[in-house]
Amino acid sequence: MGRRNLKGTVSICKDKNTIRLRWRYNSERYSLNLFLYNKQNLLRAKKIAFTIEHDLSSGGFDPSLDAYKVLIAPTPKVQPTSHLHTHGPTQNCLLDEKQIQPASQLNLFNEFEQYIKAKSMDPYSDDLSSYYTQTRAMIKNWGNIDPEHTPVYLNKERFGPKTFNDRRNCLFKFFNWLTRKGKITSNPLAEVATKKRVRNADQRKPFTETEVSTILDALKYDRFKKKCSRYSHAQYYPLVAFMMQTGVRNAEAVGLQVGDVLWESEEVRICRALARTSKGANEAARREKGTKTNNVRFIPMNEFLSALLKNQCAGKSATELVFTNQAGRMIDDRMFLRRTFKPLLEALRIPERDLYACRHTFATRAVQAGLKAHEVAYLMGDNLQTVIANYYHK
């Protein structure tokens, strides 16, 4: 006994010498007999199956199946065959190969590379963001598909909401570019909405003053370092203390250079980040880039920050990193979070958080201190609407 199709999917099977499509919709079973069974016709059958799946997912399905007969050929000649009924409507369309429309002549992979070049970027540069490299790899994996079938292919990928939205948004801009160039008539993703991300708000819940003090004390004095470990927790104390005091993003703190500490004006310049790439979060995989919003901001130093940074900058050149591990290398914030920070919170009986909670802690403190929304937005390098929505709501 065969397995039941997943909701919204169309199966392709062999029925004697013909290709047959089968699917379910609103508790009804549908089947459609197509071409003579051969390798070339299987590819053409997939095109029709993806079109049906797209209509099922978008609510545009035609129960009469007439829309799919039109898709197969402008004037299909139906050859009589024996009807194979299931529990729902069935159509038989055994067609000659000459009646089938040719596959799309637009090579999406090549066009996407031209799109990247049009944005003055090198498609094969190590500095190219994963936003583009991962989308390009996905398109290459799909092969030479019809652009109209993109929604179906995209929905078949097993992506979480964030990855789905990133791929959808990248493709959406790419298709807009193709439309402007006159290579397609409309954007096939125009009706495909982004997916709502369900975040665990507790992971970024601000730390209390007591929790901040307890965490920094535990790091600074290695209170929970394993006796058998040669790696000190104290090496991470300056980084975490700086993030608690300034609210900078992880990659901005990791990429802070000595030359960005401006002693004459007593400010810290935040103008770059050591961003993760598709190759990982380690030092070799990261690439220097601008801040998330491509702005430059200056954070005033108080006595605590001044003392902390003087110790970190001592004996270093302007281009060296302010925060390094005990081996003098870049700190991998992901590795630190997993191996040190979360186990430390567990030992302190503080509910689990990620490092972004340091940023929220700073913002909460700033609001409680009476800073205005635009001032907090500037210090955090965020837009005003985001700050108001997250920290000034009732």
Q: What is the pLDDT of the chain when averaged over all its residues?
A: 84
Give, to the nearest 10 degrees, the angle between helix 373-380 and helix 356-368: 150
pTM of the model: 0.60
Q: Give the sign of the dihedral formed by CA 357, CA 362, CA 365, CA 366.
A: negative
Segment 222-272, tens digit of pLDDT = 999 888 888 899 999 999 999 999 999 999 999 999 999 999 999 999 999
pLDDT of residue 200: 65
Residue % of the chain over a pLDDT of 70 = 86
pLDDT band at 337 (very low <50, low <70, confident <90, very high): very high
Instruction: Please give the residue that has the higher pLDDT: either 158 or 393.
Output: 158
CA distance readout (Å), 87 to 26, 212, 272, 332, 383: 12, 65, 62, 58, 56
- Sequential DSSP letters for 347-391: HTTPPP--THHHHHHHHHHHHHTT--HHHHHHHHT--HHHHHHHH
pLDDT of residue 8: 65
Whether the per-residue pLDDT at 42 is higher than 90: the answer is: no
Superfamily of domain 201-391: Intergrase catalytic core (1.10.443.10)
Domain chopping of the chain, boundaries: 11-99, 108-180, 201-391
Whether the per-residue pLDDT at 33 is higher than 90: the answer is: no
Out of 109-113, 122-126, 183-187, 206-210, which region has the weakest mean confidence (pLDDT)?
A: 122-126
Strand 90-92, strand 28-36: pairing: parallel
Segment 281-334, tens digit of pLDDT = 788 888 888 898 888 999 999 999 999 999 999 999 999 999 999 999 999 999
For residue 90, give every residue at least 6 positions away whose Cβ sits within 8 Å of its Cβ, in sequence order, or none.
Answer: 30, 31, 32, 33, 83, 84
DSSP bridge pairs for 95: none
Q: What is the mean pLDDT of residues 54-67?
A: 75
pLDDT of residue 93: 43
Tell me if residue 269 falls in helix, strand or coil.
Answer: strand
Cβ neighbours around 162 below 10 Å, total = 12
> Please, are residues 86 and 29 in contact by the beta-carbon 8 Å criterion?
yes
| 263-281 residues labelled b (16+ CB within 10 A) or e (exposed) | eeeebbbbbbbbbbbeeeb
